[in-house]
Chains A and B, each alone.
Chain A
Amino acid sequence: MSSHYEAPIREPLVLGEKSYHDISVDVGAPVLGKANKSWWIVFTIALIAFLWGLGCIIYTVATGIGVWGLNKTIGWAWDITNFVWWVGIGHAGTLISAVLLLFRQKWRMAVNRSAEAMTIFAVVQAGLFPIIHMGRPWLAYWVLPIPNQFGSLWVNFNSPLLWDVFAISTYLSVSLVFWWTGLLPDFAMIRDRTTSPFQKKIYGILSFGWSGRVKDWQRFEEVSLVLAGLATPLVLSVHTIVSFDFATSVVPGWHSTIYPPYFVAGAIFSGFAMVQTLLIIMRKVSNLEAYITILHIEYMNKVILLTGGIVTTAYIIEYFIAWYSGVPYENYAYLSFGAATGPYWWAFWALITCNLIVPLTLWVKKLRRNIVWTFIVALIINIGMWFERFDIIVIDLSKDRLTSTWAMFQPTFVDIGTFIGTIGFFFVLFLLYARTFPVIAQAEVKTILKSSGESFKRLRAVHGDDHSHVQTVESYPADAGPSANVEDKNFDSAFNELDEDSENNEVDYEANKGKIDQLLNGVGTFDPSIQTQDDLKKINGVGPVMEQKLHQIGIFTFEQVSRMTDREYDLLDEIISEFPGRAKRDDWAGQALILKNKN
Chain B
Amino acid sequence: MASKKIHAIYTDDDLLMQAVKQTRAANYHISEVFTPFPVHGLDHAVGLAPTRLAITSFLYGLTGLTVAVLMMNYIMIEDWPQNIGGKPSFTFYQNMPAFIPIMFELTVFFAAHLMVITFYMRSKLWPFKKAENPDLRTTDDHFLMEIDAENHDVEKLTKFLYDTGASEISLIENEQDH
Query: What residues make up the interface of A, taking CB atoms closer than 8 Å to B?
Result: 1, 3, 19-21, 24, 145, 152-158, 160, 162-163, 166-167, 170, 173-174, 177-178, 181, 184-185, 188-189, 191-193, 204-223, 225-227, 230-231, 233-234, 237, 240-241, 244, 442-444, 446-447, 450, 468-473, 476, 482-483, 485-487, 491, 493
Query: With A24-B140, A237-B105 in contact, is A444–B168 under 8 Å at CB?
Result: no
What are 9 A-B residue pairs whose CB atoms fall within 8 Å in the complex? A154-B76, A163-B102, A166-B102, A170-B108, A192-B133, A209-B130, A237-B105, A447-B38, A482-B159
Query: With A166-B101, A470-B18 in contact, is A219–B123 under 8 Å at CB?
Result: yes
**Which of B33, B85, B133, B167 has the largest count of A CB atoms less than 10 A from its CB?**
B167
Interface string of B36-69 (1 = CB under 8 A from A): 1111111100101011011001000000000000
**Please, how many angstroms separate the alpha-carbon atoms of A470 and B166 in the complex?**
12
Q: Are B11 and A493 in contact (CB under 8 A)?
A: yes
> Is there a chain A Cβ closer than 8 Å to B131's Cβ?
yes
CB-defined contacts of B80 to chain A, threshold 8 Å: 153-154
**Please, how many angstroms separate the alpha-carbon atoms of A450 and B40 in the complex?**
12
CB-defined contacts of A154 to chain B, threshold 8 Å: 75-76, 79-80
**Please, how many angstroms separate the alpha-carbon atoms of A443 and B132 in the complex?**
18
Q: Are A443 and B108 in contact (CB under 8 A)?
A: no
Q: Are B112 and A230 in contact (CB under 8 A)?
A: yes
**Please, how many angstroms separate the alpha-carbon atoms of A208 and B119 in the complex?**
12
Q: Are A205 and B75 in contact (CB under 8 A)?
A: no
Chain B residue nearest to A241 in the complex (CB): B101
Q: Are A20 and B140 in contact (CB under 8 A)?
A: yes
Contact of B131 among A158, A204, A217 (CB under 8 A): A204
Q: Are A221 and B38 in contact (CB under 8 A)?
A: yes
Q: Are B43 and A214 in contact (CB under 8 A)?
A: yes
**Which of B37, B40, B57, B82 has the largest count of A CB atoms less than 10 A from its CB?**
B37
Query: With A20-B140, A189-B140 in contact, is A219–B113 under 8 Å at CB?
Result: no
A243 to chain B, nearest CB (A): 11
**Please, how many angstroms separate the alpha-carbon atoms of A251 and B138 in the complex?**
60
Chain B residue nearest to A490 in the complex (CB): B167
Which residues, 116 to 174 on B, are CB-close (under 8 Å) to A?
116, 119-120, 122-133, 136-141, 158-159, 161-162, 165-170
Contact of A483 among B48, B130, B170 (CB under 8 A): B170
Q: Are B42 and A210 in contact (CB under 8 A)?
A: no
CB-defined contacts of B138 to chain A, threshold 8 Å: 192, 211-212
Query: With A184-B125, A223-B53 in contact, is A233–B108 under 8 Å at CB?
Result: yes
CB-defined contacts of B14 to chain A, threshold 8 Å: 1, 3, 450, 468-470
Query: With A166-B102, A482-B166, A486-B167 in contact, is A217–B38 under 8 Å at CB?
Result: yes
CB-defined contacts of B102 to chain A, threshold 8 Å: 157, 162-163, 166
Q: Are A208 and B129 in contact (CB under 8 A)?
A: yes
**Please, how many angstroms separate the alpha-carbon atoms of A216 and B108 in the complex?**
23
CB-defined contacts of A472 to chain B, threshold 8 Å: 165
**Please, how many angstroms separate the alpha-carbon atoms of A189 and B138 in the complex?**
9
Chain A residue nearest to B131 in the complex (CB): A209
Q: Are B108 and A485 in contact (CB under 8 A)?
A: no
Which residues, 1 to 40 on B, are CB-close (under 8 Å) to A?
11-15, 18, 32-40
**Which of A185, A212, A222, A471 has the largest count of B CB atoms less than 10 A from its CB?**
A212
Q: Are B140 and A193 in contact (CB under 8 A)?
A: yes
Q: Are A483 and B43 in contact (CB under 8 A)?
A: no
Given A208-B127, A212-B138, 10 more contacts at CB 8 Å? A20-B37, A157-B102, A177-B112, A212-B35, A214-B42, A217-B38, A220-B119, A226-B115, A240-B101, A473-B167
Q: Are A163 and B101 in contact (CB under 8 A)?
A: yes
Chain A residue nearest to B161 in the complex (CB): A482
Q: Are B46 and A214 in contact (CB under 8 A)?
A: yes
Query: With A145-B71, A177-B113, A226-B57 in contact, is A218–B48 under 8 Å at CB?
Result: yes
Query: With A154-B80, A209-B125 in contact, is A483–B141 under 8 Å at CB?
Result: no
CB-defined contacts of B120 to chain A, threshold 8 Å: 208
Chain A residue nearest to B130 in the complex (CB): A209
Query: With A157-B76, A174-B108, A469-B14 in contact, is A223–B115 under 8 Å at CB?
Result: yes
Q: Are A471 and B125 in contact (CB under 8 A)?
A: no
Q: Are B34 and A212 in contact (CB under 8 A)?
A: yes
**Please, how many angstroms separate the alpha-carbon atoms of A24 and B136 in the complex?**
13
**Please, how many angstroms separate the alpha-carbon atoms of A470 and B98 in the complex?**
59
Query: With A223-B119, A487-B167 in contact, is A174–B140 under 8 Å at CB?
Result: no
Query: With A192-B139, A222-B51, A483-B168 in contact, is A167–B101 under 8 Å at CB?
Result: yes
CB-defined contacts of B75 to chain A, threshold 8 Å: 145, 154-155, 157
Q: Are B128 and A212 in contact (CB under 8 A)?
A: no
Q: Are A157 and B99 in contact (CB under 8 A)?
A: yes
Q: Are B131 and A156 in contact (CB under 8 A)?
A: no
**Please, how many angstroms separate the alpha-carbon atoms of A212 and B106 in the complex?**
32
CB-defined contacts of A221 to chain B, threshold 8 Å: 38
Q: Are B139 and A208 in contact (CB under 8 A)?
A: no
**Which of A166, A184, A491 has the largest count of B CB atoms less than 10 A from its CB?**
A166
Contact of A207 among B85, B122, B131 (CB under 8 A): B131
